[in-house]
Structure 1
Amino acid sequence: MKRNIVQVFTLVWLLLLSVTVLAQGEAFTPVRNAIRGGSSRELSQHFGSTVELSFDGDKQSYSATQAEFVMKDFFAKNAPAGFDFVHYGGSNEGTPYAVGKYVSKTGAYRMFVKMKSDRGTLVIDTIDFTKE
């Protein structure tokens, strides 16, 4: 009897975990599409009021409008040739994040995107590009 309860609990836990990971992946779908298209305008639709952008360790915090222009400049200099998220996760507090690989003609970058909840909506809090 005890063994059955443990098995049922484990199964339910795994199902909930898989649903959480799928939901996190879905939250990043429009972000992925905007990055693939090199569209700073589409990407900015998912920015919080402030966004931390980091390029090879040089971090700065920007307003959503400023961050849009910074990303527009980045995409102009490093037009996307390929992009996809390779890992989705969440912190213990439930903050979703994704790690991806951004490829341009000038090189490849590991990309980290962290979201946060703002009035019940997930918005981009941090984007970090690290040249590989």
Structure 2
Amino acid sequence: MMCLFAVTSVANVNDVIDDISSCIKSANTKELSKYFSSTVSMTLLNDEGIYSRVQAEIILRDFFGRNTPTNVKISHRLDSNPNFRYVVLNLETSKDSFRVSYKLTNNDNTFQVTEFRIEPIY
């Protein structure tokens, strides 16, 4: 029984990572923001700060309005720790390519994004 729970738990975590990737690919900031903790440490290109969930969504909506996603590929995922996840994506947009990374922490058995970064790929 315990083993089944662990497998189910891991499967759900992978779904969260895939769901967030899908939100980024479709530029669905409203759905993406549901995965954010109440405050998010965000770095977007050269701007960084700690923002509320609503502020973070507005900032990302503006970013995706200027950079329409065309492809998202997970390049690295760290998901072996039960309380922490880290994901790196390659984001192709209509204009440029970006490296997106985010950290998820376990908060009452729910993984929430606590850090989110978008950096240009040179």
Q: TM-score range by the shorter chain?
A: 0.7 to 0.9
The answer to which structure has the higher helix fraction is 1
1:66 aligns with 2:55: yes
1:106 aligns with 2:103: no
TM-score (norm: length of structure 2): 0.82
- Return 5+ residue gaps in structure 1 as ranges: 1-18
Question: Which has more radius of gyration?
Answer: 1
Seq. identity, %: 25
Q: Which of the numbers 24, 27, 30 marks the counterpart of 1:35?
A: 24
Q: Which residue identity lines up with residue 113 of structure 1 in the other structure?
A: Y
Q: When the two structures are aligned, how many residues end up with a matched partner?
A: 115
- Return 5+ residue gaps in structure 2 as ranges: 1-7
Pairwise CA distance, 1:56: 2.7
CA distance in 2: counterparts of 1:52 and 1:91, whole angstroms: 23
TM-score (norm: length of structure 1): 0.77
Where 1:82 maps in the other structure, the secondary structure is: strand
**Deviation string, structure 1 residues 99-127 (Cα, Å, up to 9, x no partner):** 11001112000111110112220011111
Where 1:48 maps in the other structure, the secondary structure is: strand
> In the alignment, is the contact (CA less than 8 A) between 1:51 and 1:63 conserved in 2?
yes
> In the alignment, is the contact (CA less than 8 A) between 1:24 and 1:89 conserved in 2?
no
Q: Which of the numbers 45, 48, 72 marks the counterpart of 2:37?
A: 48
